[in-house]
Amino acid sequence: MKNKIITISREFGSGGRTIGKQLAKKLDIPYYDADIIQLTARESGMAEPFIRTQEEALAHANTLINSFSARDQYGMGIQDHLWRIQRKVIFDLANKSNCIIIGRCADYLLFHLHHCLRVFIHADFEERMERILKVYGETSESPKKRLLDKDFRRKAYYEFYTEQKWGDAKNYDIMLNSGTLGLNGCTNILASVWADDWQDGK
Amino acid sequence: MKNKIITISREFGSGGRTIGKQLAKKLDIPYYDADIIQLTARESGMAEPFIRTQEEALAHANTLINSFSARDQYGMGIQDHLWRIQRKVIFDLANKSNCIIIGRCADYLLFHLHHCLRVFIHADFEERMERILKVYGETSESPKKRLLDKDFRRKAYYEFYTEQKWGDAKNYDIMLNSGTLGLNGCTNILASVWADDWQDGK
Q: Is residue B191 classed exposed, middle or buried when 0-12, 13-18 and 19+ CB atoms within 10 A define those classes? A: middle
Rounded-to-integer distance, Cα B32 and Cα B39, Å:
10
Q: How many angstroms separate the Cα of B49 from the Cα of each of A80, A135, B40, B54, B197?
A: 58, 55, 11, 9, 38
The complex's ipTM works out to: 0.88
**How far away is chain A from the Cα of B4, in angstroms, using its nearest Cα?**
14
Residue B150: per-residue pLDDT: 87
**Which helix H or strand E contains B164, and what residues bound it?**
none
pLDDT at B130 over 80: yes
**How far away is chain B from the Cα of A116, in angstroms, using its nearest Cα?**
10
In this prediction, what percent of chain A has a pLDDT beyond 90? 51
Question: Which residue of A173, A178, A196 is in closest CB contact with B177?
Answer: A173
- Residue scoring higher pLDDT (B64 or A4): A4
pLDDT at A67 over 80: no
Question: Which residue of B169, B173, B181 is in closest CB contact with A173?
Answer: B181
Rounded-to-integer distance, Cα A88 and Cα A183, Å:
31
Question: Which residue of A120, A198, A202 is in closest CB contact with B169?
Answer: A120
Give the global pTM. Answer: 0.89
Summarize pLDDT for B47-98 with one digit per residue, the tens. Answer: 888 888 776 565 554 455 555 566 666 667 777 888 889 999 999 999 999 9
**CA nearest to A196 within chain B:** B185
**CA nearest to A199 within chain B:** B181
Q: Is A93 in contact with A109 (CB distance < 8 Å)?
A: no
Summarize pLDDT for B161-181 with one digit per residue, the tens. Answer: 888 999 999 999 999 999 999
- What residues of chain A lie within 8 A of the CB of B169, using their CB? 120, 122, 167, 169, 175, 177
Q: Which of B177, B178, B194, B196 to mutate to test the interface with A (most CBs of A within 10 A)?
A: B177
Residue A201: per-residue pLDDT: 45
Q: Is the dihedral of CA A80, A21, A174, B198 positive or negative?
A: negative
Q: How many CA atoms lie within 13 A of A29 on its CB side?
A: 20
Contacts of B60 (CB under 8 A, 6+ apart): B66
Ranges of H-type helices in B45-117: 48-54, 63-68, 78-96, 106-110
Q: Is A172 in contact with A110 (CB distance < 8 Å)?
A: no
Q: Which of B84, B60, B59 is nearest to B155 (CA)?
A: B59
DSSP3 helix / strand / coil % (chain A, rounded to 5): 55, 10, 30
- Decide if B182 and A172 are in contact by the 8 Å CB cutoff: no
Query: How many CB atoms are located within 10 Å of the residue A196 CB?
Result: 16
- Decide if B120 and A169 are in contact by the 8 Å CB cutoff: yes
Please count the residues of chain B. Answer: 202
Task: Assign residue A198 a region (left: φ > 0; alpha: ψ between -120 and 50; beta: otherwise).
Answer: left
* DSSP state for residue A176 in the 8-state scheme: E
Q: Which of A151, A155, A176 to mutate to test the interface with B (most CBs of B within 10 A)?
A: A176
Q: How many CB contacts within 8 angstroms connect chain A with chain B?
A: 98
- Decide if A173 and B192 are in contact by the 8 Å CB cutoff: no
Residue A61: per-residue pLDDT: 44
Query: How many CB atoms are located within 10 Å of the residue A195 CB?
Result: 11
Q: Which of B22, B128, B174 to mutate to test the interface with A (most CBs of A within 10 A)?
A: B174
* DSSP state for residue A177 in the 8-state scheme: E
Residue B201: per-residue pLDDT: 45
Summarize pLDDT for A94-127 with one digit per residue, the tens. Answer: 999 999 999 989 999 998 887 899 999 999 999 9
Contacts of residues A72-81 at CB distance under 8 Å and 24 or more positions apart, as own/partner, are A78/A54, A79/A54, A81/A44
**How far away is chain A from the Cα of B67, in angstroms, using its nearest Cα?**
30
Q: Is A114 in contact with A7 (CB distance < 8 Å)?
A: no
- Residue scoring higher pLDDT (B184 or A140): B184
